[in-house]
Chains A and B, each alone.
Chain A
Amino acid sequence: MINKGIPIIFLLLFTLISCEREAKNVILPEFRQKLVITSFISPSDQVSFVSVSTNSRIYGDLYQTIDQGNLKAYMSDGNREIELAMADEGFEFSSVDMQVEPGRSYELRVTSDKGLHAEGFCTVPVKRNFVPEADTAKKVWYDTYQGSMNLLVTRVFLADYPGEDNYYRFGCKMVYYDPEYYYYPYITKISGTGSDFADDKGKDGERFMANSYVLPYPKYLDSAFLIFYYQSTDKAYYDYHKSLMKYSGGDNPFTEPSPLFSNITGGLGIFASYTLDSLVIRLR
């Protein structure tokens, strides 16, 4: 019930006294077609994708077709530029065409014969050793209605690289064998007790807990592993995902709209990079 919160009161008030109608005599914002780019590149990818689409109008005739024209995309690493191959909903390039290297900057350019043009720029983070470590502990959890339960708490620590701004993203999956039910390894996503995104603000050069994972103790399993992924990302990658998480479209009159982060010049979307590492933790 508490979830209904203050909006309920407002809803009541508005229902009683407000009136709603189509706004007339206002000059609506003019629609400008833009290319929307989404691309995350990494030295660990054999093939990198660049998704390209276009924005669409929200005022006026919504069935009006929006043609983005014939597209071409180019990637440059500062020394040479390649034209990207067409792929499903965008373009792709392989590491053979152009190697994505840590510490290097890349420029992505997409043009259309309709005169649309968008470009993005990113620098792949330098590969660092973040010295990952994990510890596990057994914990008894008591619930009023379900009784006690054995849990396994796994905490993962990283050492931030000093003297530079670092941005992180974490992910985790569990791989386990349960002979009673499966004849093959089963893989499941595990979300942490903390955020999957972090920066090193206030902990530059320090060792910090990246995330922790709480699971039922796998005593009936034959074997179980946690695979902890940690990405070192550029700031744009971090800002884009943080803004996507807290995105608010401006329909709520009581909060300011929060636009989605974009680093695409002349268009919308994101062109960002990361490096990837993993740590395998044997649980049983």
Chain B
Amino acid sequence: MKLYSALKFFCKDILVISCFLSGLSGGLNGQQLQRYTISGFVKEAGSGESLIGVNVYMSDRKTGTVTNNYGFYSLTLPESDSVELVVSYVGFNPEIRKISLRKNTELNFELRSDVLLREVTISADRAERLSESARMSTVKLQGAQIRNIPSLLGEKDVLKVLQLMPGVQKGSEGSSGLYVRGGGPDQNLIILDDAIVYNANHLFGFFSLFNGNALKNIELTKGGFPARYGGRLSSVLEMNMKDGNREEWHGEGGIGLISSNVTVEGPLKKNRSSILLSGRRTYADLIISPILKIMDEENTGYFFYDLNAKVNYDFGRKNKLYLSGYFGKDKFYLKYRSTGIKENVGFLWGNSTATLRWNHLFNNKLFTNASAVFSNYSFGIYDEYKVVSENKDYYAEYYSGIRDYTLKYDLDYLPNPKHWIKGGLITVFHRFNPHAFIEEDIPGQISERDVEFIHGIEAGIYAEDTWHPFQSLKINAGIRLSHFIAPGKRYFHPEPRLSAAWRISNDLAIKASYASMNQYIHMLSNTGISLPTDLWVPATERVKPQQSKQVAVGAVRDFPETMFSLSVEGYYKKMDNVIGYREGASFLELNEPGDIEKTDWQDKVTAGQSWSYGLEFLLQKKEGRVTGWIGYTLSWTQMQFDSINSGRKFYARYDRRHDISLVAFFRVNDRINLSGTWVYGTGNAVTLPLSEYYAEPHDLLKDVHDPYHYYNGLSEMLYSRTVNEFGEKNNFRMRSYHRLDLGIQFHKTKKWGERTWEISVYNAYNRLNPFFYYSDVKYDGEKRTGVLRQVSLFPIIPSFTYSFKF
């Protein structure tokens, strides 16, 4: 009850502010008529799945709103004999209702998917136009888009689809890491049902964690961040899992070359409660393992799996409860057996999240959500060695990770169509585990135990208002107060946010935004790709929080007749206290995990600044038989660190002058879909050696020659050697990257449901894109020639996938 009272008190405060704001705007407009509220939920017909971001529009008054993350909308209007509501959403048929507004009205909608209707009627007014939204720098994806895009080995991947958007770049071949507007992959806040996901990839970044079948909504924000988001500098990727079908049991699945997946969903109590379970597992190890056993070889294998689960219960219109979770693991193992010796070595890493959410509708204008979230990422190595005959055992275990406990409370208050006020607070208790090492050489007796935990508390409180002062102007203004309690230090930063859209005409809007962000946790990785060894650590007294300020301006033009929309955005982002790795620092020191604690990670990093600016063009067509988009980014990203590159500015590794993506889908008929993507990007900036020379250390004791040199633990590798001369950091551009992927899907309706065969080709013209370079010597008889060698990862790779739906 105390919690409930506290929440009520908080809501009251926000309401006072919002009443003031709405009163202000009401006063300005001189509204005198009695006002009533139409509110409700928008769901998908046939499944009861709530729909996010649905446009609820009054065509006669040229005003409207969109549904929130739980499908709720609210419109408060002066009384009227007739109000026409148009409810529209991409991929769904619109619904139009006329009502008389003489009292507060609850009005729920169920939208029918286009696919079910077969006949596609194209209407430009159905979906929210880009020019209508106050927000900019935002990308929204739906499950269908992900399913239709051809992919590596047929594995559908949310993050790789996002890489096809302007302003979002991939790091290296095959990697699912996102580099958004010059920021690193550590600067992306990835949220799955309110839970923060760390190191969001499988198989060293080649596949992302997220199973497209379980996702309902994917939204990436690259700039103009509303105040509700905080904690990262470069982007927010918010994903919501499907709730599960509330009306009948359904399932879908797929069998691919490297993994299979299955999703089942259905009502636990019809129209009240539903469940969704979705799982995926790779099976290369299951095929290879028996063969290796027959060959009496070392048994080596790798697999990953993930499981999404969600249950919800509807206690009525006012209260809904959701419990969702994600559990995923990657494992690489090596089992060695020889006479009298058994050894098991393995790497194990994975994420788990759990979210309990309670939606409460205080009244038809005030919607709230309270969440309790658990999130965990861990990485571990184990080595178990047994000499059977001598009864000797050795066991060592190294692990690292991060665990979060989060409490979050958000409210949406919609006093009238001119205001949508959001407020909330969040507290995250982080438990960082930069390293832990446990060693046993006698069974049951730990000979060495070194476990380190660092704690930090991150908190934020925010308020924002999407204000529509007059028909052609929409403003989202807000502030977030962020606070972090680090070891030995407290940080507090106000983060103002502002974005505005001015509609010059019905189809043309210009937009601008400003956002100030702070990031209180850092990821340590100097590999340039996503590895499970990447460590998360807090800001400390020495290593300050990263900060950014971003301004963006743009224009959006809808072309309703042709169903195209074009957006052009320019941005400038300055980041401070960005973490870089001191020259020579490595976080891959796994040879002797026990030595890791001897070096403080803070000594390995250095803080600097970064500048990123560019232009993004996106021409997209969301409806019709041919859909898709063309994205182009022209950008520059530079960095400067006092202790790197002699303090001079240099281009970031992922600085990409030109980045182009073409994505097209063609629905040939009801049974056949064609799809293709072509990407082009300027090569990564890397550091190549210029020449080599012989370097000698100074050694006072070099005349002491003896065979019995006592080494006591730390033997420093100080000897004469040939070293490379490096010029400016990142002085060389790799060859440009380009690739074409093609796919064809054959759908067929069966008695039991629908099946789809998909044939796709990754890298259709077999372009050997560089993954990395190294210098080498080529021998040709007497001749020795120094050459640069290029390693490429993926040649042309065809794949087949069978999927089904019932």
A21 touches B768 (CB 8 A): yes
**Which of A2, A17, A189, A237 meets B709, CB within 8 Å?**
A189
A171 touches B700 (CB 8 A): yes
CA distance A32 to B396 in the complex (A): 49
A229 touches B591 (CB 8 A): no
B704 touches A257 (CB 8 A): no
Which residues 304-344 of B have a CB within 8 angstroms of A?
332, 334, 336, 343
**Which of A173, A193, A212, A255 meets B704, CB within 8 Å?**
A173
Given contacts A34-B725, A259-B726, contact A191 B590 (CB under 8 A): no
Name the CB-closest residue of A to B774: A251
A258 touches B584 (CB 8 A): yes
Name the CB-closest residue of A to B447: A144
- B723 at interface, CB cutoff 8 A: yes
CA distance A40 to B697 in the complex (A): 9
**Which of A19, A30, A61, A196 meets B783, CB within 8 Å?**
A61
- A150 at interface, CB cutoff 8 A: no
Q: Which residues of chain A are within 8 angstroms of B585 by Cβ–Cβ distance?
A: 246, 256, 258
Name the CB-closest residue of A to B715: A191
**Which of A196, A254, A259 meets B531, CB within 8 Å?**
A254
Name the CB-closest residue of A to B397: A2
- B772 at interface, CB cutoff 8 A: yes
- A214 at interface, CB cutoff 8 A: yes
Q: Which residues of chain B are within 8 angstroms of A2 by Cβ–Cβ distance?
A: 345, 381, 383, 396, 398, 590-591, 593
* Chain A: minimal CB distance from B23 (Å): 57
A194 touches B693 (CB 8 A): no
B692 touches A58 (CB 8 A): yes
Q: Which residues of chain B are within 8 angstroms of A163 by Cβ–Cβ distance?
A: none
- A10 at interface, CB cutoff 8 A: yes
> B691-721, CB under 8 A of A: which get 1 and which 0?
1111111101100101011111111111001
Segment from A49-57, A70-78, A79-87, A124-132 that makes contact with B: A49-57
Give the residue among A2, A4, A22, A40 with the most B Cβ atoms within 10 A. Answer: A2
Given contacts A59-B786, A255-B526, contact A18 B771 (CB under 8 A): yes
CA distance A195 to B714 in the complex (A): 7
Given contacts A54-B693, A58-B692, A191-B711, contact A26 B788 (CB under 8 A): yes
B791 touches A190 (CB 8 A): no
Name the CB-closest residue of B to A61: B785
B721 touches A247 (CB 8 A): yes
Q: Which residues of chain A are within 8 angstroms of B63 by Cβ–Cβ distance?
A: none
Segment from B107-115, B224-232, B567-575, B682-690 that makes contact with A: B682-690
A1 touches B385 (CB 8 A): yes
Given contacts A19-B795, A23-B773, A55-B691, contact A28 B788 (CB under 8 A): yes
Name the CB-closest residue of B to A10: B204
> A184-208, CB under 8 A of B: which get 1 and which 0?
0011111111111100000000000
B590 touches A194 (CB 8 A): no
B773 touches A1 (CB 8 A): no
- B739 at interface, CB cutoff 8 A: no
**Which of B588, B591, B695, B782 meets A260, CB within 8 Å?**
B695
- A243 at interface, CB cutoff 8 A: yes
**Which of A51, A55, A196 meets B692, CB within 8 Å?**
A55
CA distance A173 to B708 in the complex (A): 11
Given contacts A9-B204, A58-B692, A195-B714, contact A29 B792 (CB under 8 A): no
**Which of B302, B694, B795 meets A36, CB within 8 Å?**
B694
What is the size, in residues, of chain A's interface with B at 8 Å between Cβ atoms?
A: 88
CA distance A25 to B794 in the complex (A): 20
- B636 at interface, CB cutoff 8 A: no
- B504 at interface, CB cutoff 8 A: no
CA distance A9 to B441 in the complex (A): 26
**Which of A23, A212, A250, A256 meets B735, CB within 8 Å?**
A23
- A62 at interface, CB cutoff 8 A: yes
Give the residue among A23, A38, A196, A231 with the most B Cβ atoms within 10 A. Answer: A23
- B527 at interface, CB cutoff 8 A: yes
Given contacts A18-B792, A189-B709, A215-B710, contact A276 B204 (CB under 8 A): no
* Chain B: minimal CB distance from A158 (Å): 17
- B59 at interface, CB cutoff 8 A: no
**Which of A20, A40, A213 meets B791, CB within 8 Å?**
A20
> A168-180, CB under 8 A of B: which get 1 and which 0?
0001011000000
- B529 at interface, CB cutoff 8 A: yes
Which residues 53-108 of A have a CB within 8 angstroms of B?
53-63
Q: Which residues of chain A are within 8 angstroms of B336 by Cβ–Cβ distance?
A: 1
Which residues 245-284 of A have a CB within 8 angstroms of B?
245-251, 253-260, 268-269, 272, 274, 276
Q: Which residues of chain A are within 8 angstroms of B443 by Cβ–Cβ distance?
A: none
B791 touches A186 (CB 8 A): no
A55 touches B584 (CB 8 A): no
Name the CB-closest residue of B to A53: B694
Which residues 107-139 of A have a CB within 8 angstroms of B?
none
B795 touches A23 (CB 8 A): no
Q: Which residues of chain B are within 8 angstroms of A255 by Cβ–Cβ distance?
A: 526-527, 586, 588
CA distance A204 to B487 in the complex (A): 23
**Which of A32, A193, A212 meets B690, CB within 8 Å?**
A32
- B790 at interface, CB cutoff 8 A: yes
- B460 at interface, CB cutoff 8 A: no
A231 touches B700 (CB 8 A): yes
Q: Which residues of chain B are within 8 angstroms of A6 by Cβ–Cβ distance?
A: 347, 531, 533, 588, 590
B691 touches A51 (CB 8 A): no
* Chain B: minimal CB distance from A87 (Å): 15
Name the CB-closest residue of B to A58: B786
8 example contacts (A-B, Cβ-Cβ < 8 A) are as follows A4-B345, A6-B347, A18-B793, A51-B696, A61-B785, A193-B714, A255-B527, A268-B693
Contacts A23-B773, A254-B531 known; list 20 others, CB within 8 Å: A1-B385, A5-B588, A5-B590, A9-B347, A19-B791, A26-B788, A29-B727, A30-B690, A59-B786, A189-B710, A191-B712, A192-B714, A193-B714, A214-B710, A241-B697, A245-B716, A246-B585, A250-B724, A256-B687, A259-B583
- Residues of B at the A interface (CB closer than 8 Å) are 204, 300, 302, 332, 334, 336, 343, 345, 347, 381, 383, 385, 396, 398, 441-442, 526-529, 531, 533, 581, 583-586, 588, 590-593, 687-698, 700-701, 704, 706, 708-718, 721, 723-727, 731-732, 735, 768, 770-775, 777-778, 782-795
